[in-house]
Structure 1
Amino acid sequence: MKPFITLALLLCFTFTFAQNDEKSSAIDVNSQNNYEKVHELRLGAFRLLAGGFLDLSYEYINSTASGLGVSLMLNFDDAIETEKFGIIPYYRFYFGDNPEFKGHGFFVEAFTYFYTGDQDEYYFSQQANEVFEDDSFFDVAPGLAVGSKWINSSGFLFQIKLGIGRNLLSNSPDEFVATGDFYVGYRF
């Protein structure tokens, strides 16, 4: 009876170690695949749902601690006068520490916002006539943003970002411009 119990225990330990080796090799392969994914597409969800403002972003993760990308902004809501179209190139510094993923966690971003917009002005002339002026403008706003990015093993991600930039050309009616949103996306 003792040899049978010893043999049964030996077989249990062998199968247990074999299963652990299979699981760890599957995790290593999955980690390697996630680590090799360096392209991201994201969509700004909150501003799109709340105000018809499309924010579509692409990012290339070039190292574990940095990434560079570009965002395209399109405004479909005529009630919002400023920021009709914009392009935002950016560079990010990541502070996350996970060997499975690169380019995740808390980040600081330096960006430059190139955008066009409309400024509608209503006023009365000396003859008491209502005058309407539709002025289009172009402005450039360098700035900084902070945020955080979370990603799962299948590549789906979400990100929160908030930033502010200062207009250089003073063509916009505002001195500052804000960027940011709640983003959903996919890394491939």
Structure 2
Amino acid sequence: MKSIITFVLLLISVFFSFAQEKEMPETVDSISKNNYEKVHELRLGAIKLLASGFLDVSYEYVNSQTSGYGVSLMVNFDDNIDYEKFGLIPYYRFYFGKNPEFKGRGFFVEAFSYFHIGEDDSFNYNQQGDFVREDDTFFEVAPGFAVGSKWINSNGFVFQLKLGVGRNLLGESPNEFLATGDVYIGYRF
């Protein structure tokens, strides 16, 4: 009788151990699936905002594991920076990191077009010989490329590094080239 009870308890423990092994992967798969379904992302450029009052807010839609597209909005609140007052940057990204848990993470290359409005302060002498400051507002278009990397945790928080360069096409800006990039903090939902 004692051996029968021991045998039954052994069978029950083996049954429960197999049942637990089957449930664990399903739980992990449901977490991965939930993270994989998160495709909307909002980010804020941290260094520009803290250092110079330059707001850089980005939205991205991650449409596949290897690509995403979005738009960034730039607003300059610092009067000492004249060249860029307002900007809109649509972009398309190619991701090179593959992860079964997340879409759109790891190293990326980005193609963008930077549409921006700025001011070019020029200092001249007028006809009376007085020193005058002239504020010329301009509109400029700058296509360019950027590279960077993005990290995401399981709760959806995003950390991204990006650096890029573009060329002003219209010749309105005093600068021929522009640089873009920042350290971004965001959330994917």
TM superposition score normalised by structure 2: 0.92
**Who is 1:173 aligned against?**
174
Identity of aligned residues (%): 65
Amino acid at match of 2:139: F
Alignment of 1:27-38 (within 5 A): 27-38=28-39
User: What secondary structure is seen at the aligned counterpart in 2 of 1:79?
Assistant: coil
List aligned pairs for 1:48-63, cutoff 5 A. Answer: 48-63=49-64
Q: Shift of the alpha carbon at 1:153?
A: 1.1
Aligned-pair distance for 1:2?
Answer: 6.8
AA of the residue aligned to 1:114: F
Q: Deviations over 1:80-128 (max 9, x none)?
A: 1111000000000000110111111100000000000011122345754
| Cα drift, residue 73 of structure 1 | 0.2
Which residue of 2 is the match for residue 77 of structure 1? 78
> Per the alignment, in what secondary structure is the counterpart of residue 95 of structure 1?
strand
Matching residue of 1:155: 156
In 2, the alpha carbon distance for the partners of 1:32 and 1:113 equals 35
Which structure 2 residues correspond to residues 101-112 of structure 1 after superposition, within 5 A?
A: 101-112=102-113
Q: Deviations over 1:35-79 (max 9, x none)?
A: 111111111111101110000000111111110100000000001
| Displacement of 1:18 | 2.9
What is the rounded CA distance, in whole Å, between the counterparts of 2:79 and 2:161 in structure 1? 26
Quote the offset at 1:129 in angstroms.
1.9
How many residues are paired up? Answer: 188
Question: What CA distance in whole angstroms lies between the structure 1 residues aligned with 2:155 and 2:25?
Answer: 17
Match runs of 1:104-143 below 5 Å:
104-125=105-126, 128-143=129-144
Determine helix, strand or coil for the equivalent of 1:30. helix
Q: Deviations over 1:154-182 (max 9, x none)?
A: 11111000000000001011111111000
Deviation at 1:5, TM superposition (A): 6.4
Aligned CA-pair RMSD: 1.8
CA distance in 2: counterparts of 1:23 and 1:48, whole angstroms: 43
Instruction: Could you tell me which runs of 5 or more consecutive residues in structure 1 were left unpaired when the two chains were aligned.
Output: none
Question: Within 2, Cα distance between the matches of 1:69 and 1:33?
Answer: 21
Q: Please give the alpha-carbon distance, in whole angstroms, between the structure 1 residues aligned to 2:9 and 2:182.
A: 58
In structure 2, runs of 5+ residues without a counterpart are none
Task: Give SS of 1:99's match.
Answer: coil
> C-alpha displacement at 1:8, in angstroms?
5.7
Return the offset for 1:22. Answer: 2.3
Secondary structure of the structure 2 residue equivalent to 1:183? strand
CA distance in 2, matches of 1:9, 1:159: 52
Give me the TM-score of the superposition, normalised by structure 1. Answer: 0.92
